[in-house]
Chain A
Amino acid sequence: MAQLTAGIACSHVPAIGAAMDLGKTAEPYWVPLFKGFEPSRRWMVQNTPDVVFLVYNDHATAFSLDMIPTFAIGCAEEFKPADEGWGPRPVPVVKGHPELASHITQSVIQSDFDLTIVNRMDVDHGLTVPLSLMFGQPSAWPCRVIPFAVNVVQYPPPSGNRCYQLGSAIRRAIDSFDADLKVQIWGTGGMSHQLQGPRAGLINKDFDTQFLDKLVSDPESLARIAHVQYIREAGSEGIELVMWLIMRGALDAQVREVHRFYHVPASNTAVGHMILENAR
């Protein structure tokens, strides 16, 4: 049977991808950030999964205002890195896992979560930057990836509680897949940041620290955070943190914190990262 082996939280700031693509990782600005991911890459060598279920948001790339699915699951065989306006990132094509993705789709819809099914989609920095952070710059990604896009562009995104419950449904779906696969779930985006208006540049370290603490010990309290509280305290784009709750909802109640990293700034954003394993 498939087994969910770990959950990873990771910001997906586009400038991080650009720093890697342009060979700037040794610049003083970027050194502390990449250092924070060194333990993660070492851990990953020992714990490479067969499949990553990668929760992220599209940034007006695959989805314009023409179609805005709240939850969209990528069931294709592959997903190309998108041209976001300056050419595609020079990273490998993302190979999907259509069998597991289709299985999860059917199972999760039957658990009352009405997913949008996507069979053709390019993937933007929201998906590829976490892959780069965790795997570096290989010529091919070392595992399959199921992209799972969440609308956080047009308000309102799904609630934190809805995301947390969805995570639990995804877990049940993975547990019931009849093949011997190691699966990780990643929740990306965040932490506090605001990219728009006179309040741009907002960072709230206290909020972020509490969020990281409770992600481990009390995720149900995080699931009760209202949208407006994210906007007030973590900035208008900090609301992306609801995606972390899908990841956390898929893990056991008791988890072990393997690694934590927090860094300000990457461009406009507070970078948060955590590796969690089920405690049992």
Chain B
Amino acid sequence: MSLDKPYLDIPGTTVFDADLARKGYHLNSFCMSLMKADNRTRFKAGERAYLDEWQMTEEQKQGVLARDYNRLIELGGNIYFLAKIFATDGKSFQYAAASMTGMSQEAYAKMMLSGGRSPKEDGACKAPETR
């Protein structure tokens, strides 16, 4: 019997569940390696060669090279692991979040200052569901 996944229809949102975690294991392990300064240096010196040390799919490697975070999330990347990539690039969480929304960082920052993205805009908030 398949698992109940009531979160699949939420717009603009990918839930890092067990299936995605399995798919993204090597990608996220690569990200984790960037916690070490030596590895960051080696990655920066030759991204492709460093990526080839990991059992990632070609799509995942391309996603990293392009810093396409939405694509990487689809391919099993988790945001807290992907954060190691943009930290290595010297970029902030707000920069990365903005890049995933398709907004400029400036427009995104302005949206946050005026209270953030409204939950009403995408109709994802249904009537309260309780178990």
> What is A's interface to B at a CB cutoff of 8 Å?
14-15, 59-61, 64-66, 83-86, 153-156, 159, 161, 192, 194-205, 207, 224-229, 231-233, 236-237, 264-265, 267-268, 270
Contact = CB atoms under 8 A, between A and B. Distances in A.
Interface string B9-29: 011111111100100110011
A99 to B, nearest CB: 31
Given A64-B81, A198-B102, A200-B101, 12 more contacts: A59-B80, A60-B28, A65-B21, A85-B34, A156-B17, A196-B69, A197-B70, A199-B12, A199-B117, A225-B130, A231-B15, A233-B119
Nearest to B82: A196
B16 A155 contact: yes
Which label, helix, strand, loop or mixed, suits the secondary structure of the A interface? loop
Given A86-B87, A226-B130, A197 B12 contact: yes
Interface of B: 6-7, 10-18, 21, 24-25, 28-29, 31-32, 34-35, 37, 40, 69-70, 73, 78-81, 83-84, 87-88, 92-94, 96-98, 100-102, 108, 111-113, 115-119, 122, 124-126, 128-131
A192 B128 CA distance: 16
A234 B53 CA distance: 38
B15 A229 contact: no
Contacts of B78: 60, 153-154
Closest 10 CB pairs of A and B: A203-B116, A199-B12, A198-B12, A85-B87, A200-B97, A60-B80, A265-B112, A201-B117, A196-B79, A155-B17
Contact of A153 (B16, B35, B100, B128): B16
A197 B94 contact: no
Given A85-B87, A201-B112, A205-B115, A154 B21 contact: yes
B16 A60 contact: no
A268 B94 contact: yes
Contacts of B37: 83
Nearest to B31: A60
B100 A200 contact: yes
B35 A83 contact: yes
A64 B28 contact: yes
A265 B128 CA distance: 25
Nearest to B90: A86
